[in-house]
A and B are shown apart, each in its own frame.
Chain A
Amino acid sequence: MRTSIIIGSAALLVAVSGCAPVRPWVKPYQREHLADPIMALDRNPVSSIYLDHVFETREGARGATGGVGGGCGCN
């Protein structure tokens, strides 16, 4: 019984903490390195598009090449 209460309480604690707002552990003012152009997920889209094309036409695999969609504080 006691074990069940402990497990239930722990589960409740985890569930409640899941509702708490997530505080960014990397503040916007700490993202200067991430905002550097050399850290862009796709620095030269016109070139990466072309290379994707070159690989895709010669390989059986395709997809998941994105890399775009960075959650960075670049702005």
Chain B
Amino acid sequence: MQLSRNTRGRARELATSWRTLAVLCLAGVPAVAGVLPEDRVDLLYHRYQGGGITVQGPSILVQKRIGDHFAVNANYYQDMISSASIDVLLSASPYKETRTQKSVGAQYLHGNTTYSAGFINSVEPDYRANTSYYSVSQDMFGGLTTVTLSYSRGWDRILRDIKVNGDIVNDPTFHQRADHRVYGFSISQILTRNLIGTVNYQLSTDQGYLANPYREIRYLDPSNPTGYTLAPQIYPNTRTMDAVSASLKYYLPYRASLTGKYRFFTDSWGIVAHTLQVDYVQPVFHRWTLDGNIRYYRQGAASFFSDLFPYANYSNYMARDRELAAFHSITLGVEASYAFSIPRLAWIQKSTATLRFDRMMIDYLDYHDALYSKYDAAAFKAGDEPLYSLDASVFQAYVSLWF
């Protein structure tokens, strides 16, 4: 039996799915102490297109109170992925797959304290992730201040797909694990009758297999017609991350809101990142609410990242994931929401329909488009290809019902 490796450039995205899920549940259940989330259902269709990748699917989020002290929530989310990204084209063939994640959570309100817990499960053909999370929020100083402590724990199983006689199956020789812990602290503060400030801090640790089993590094090799040879990535087995953010949200005199956010990130891999975001919300014509935002992101490369290593086995750790490269990006977003009523369904108190579009523009600073040298080695030497850039469109359409 001959095994041919199906090198797909997606595991990096898979590796973060559990964290997204954690964010999903923690954010999806507003941690406002003393107040349980509203009874609400959201039905979302999402579509991402850019860099040869199309990802689309539904998301359904339900939040329901039970009595005066309990609330529950559940989310079903799906990614249907069709990928022919630069990573895939460099060393593999396009693929399609589906990722499904499900989560459930509960909240208990006791006095000014809210306790939350939940569980998240994500399944892909070559990745399984389970995450549990817990948080406690305390409302204090007459409701001016809310302090939240949170903790989440994730267990991932990483597999690798291969082709056997034309069929894609899990590689029986490849079973890896990764564990994750996230400790969070946040404080929200009413500063004036028109201004709220929030500070978040998060410490995350990863341990286990943290590399992408499909993507590869490349190193200079004059004997190869392309000028380089591909080789497996080698990642450290641990990673520690610190992220701190601060935001201010201000109510403008003519009924609009302006939000400014900044986040600083650093980790044990040498990545330093800054995120700056401004968001403006304006209700118009009684039923409409318009939203516009701009987000700027910038990061430095990981210490063991290189677009082209000088020779094989250059160092203990070697990576060429573009998520670890140096780059900056700008994302512009616009959103329009329309409030409507459904007279025949009296139990629905409020309903809105929303369309949102975001345009993401990423410029890499040390990650070259290796497809140039792959397809035209005579014109482009390895390492001299144009820098890679990525423009992506993100579309969302969703209906929200309050009952």
Q: Which residues of A contact B (CB under 8 A)?
A: 22-26, 28, 30-31, 33-34, 36, 38-39, 41-75
Residues of A within 8 A of B273 (CB): 59-61
Closest to B146 in A: A71
B321 closest partner in A (C-beta):
A60
Q: Kindly identify which residue among B26, B61, B139, B267 contacts A66, using a CB–CB cutoff of 8 Å.
A: B26
Extra pairs beyond A34-B193, A38-B256 (13, CB < 8 Å): A24-B143, A33-B193, A33-B194, A38-B281, A42-B27, A46-B59, A53-B23, A54-B394, A59-B297, A62-B243, A69-B148, A69-B187, A71-B140
B48 interface hit (Cβ, 8 Å):
yes
Distance, CA A4 to CA B86, complexed state (A)? 69
Grouping DSSP codes into helix (H, G, I), strand (E, B) and loop, the B interface class, with mixed when no group exceeds half, is strand
> In the complex the two chains form, what is the Cα distance from A17 to B312 in whole Å?
65
Given A34-B251, A55-B297, A70-B196, the answer on whether A49 and B24 have CB atoms closer than 8 Å is yes
B16 touches A57 (CB 8 A): yes
Instruction: Say yes or no: is B190 at the interface (Cβ < 8 Å to chain A).
Output: yes
Q: Is the CB of B400 within 8 A of A70?
A: no
CB distance from A40 to the nearest CB of B (A): 8
Query: 8 Å CB contacts to A: which residues of B251-294?
Result: 251, 255-257, 261, 263, 265, 267, 269, 271, 273, 275, 281, 283, 289
A70 engages B198 (CB within 8 Å): yes
B100 at the interface (CB under 8 A from A): no
Interface of A is mostly: loop
The one of B137, B143, B202, B256 that contacts A69, using a Cβ cutoff of 8 Å = B137
A28, B193: Cβ atoms under 8 Å? no
In the complex where A46-B61, A56-B23, A65-B263 touch, is A51 in contact with B146 (Cβ < 8 A)?
no
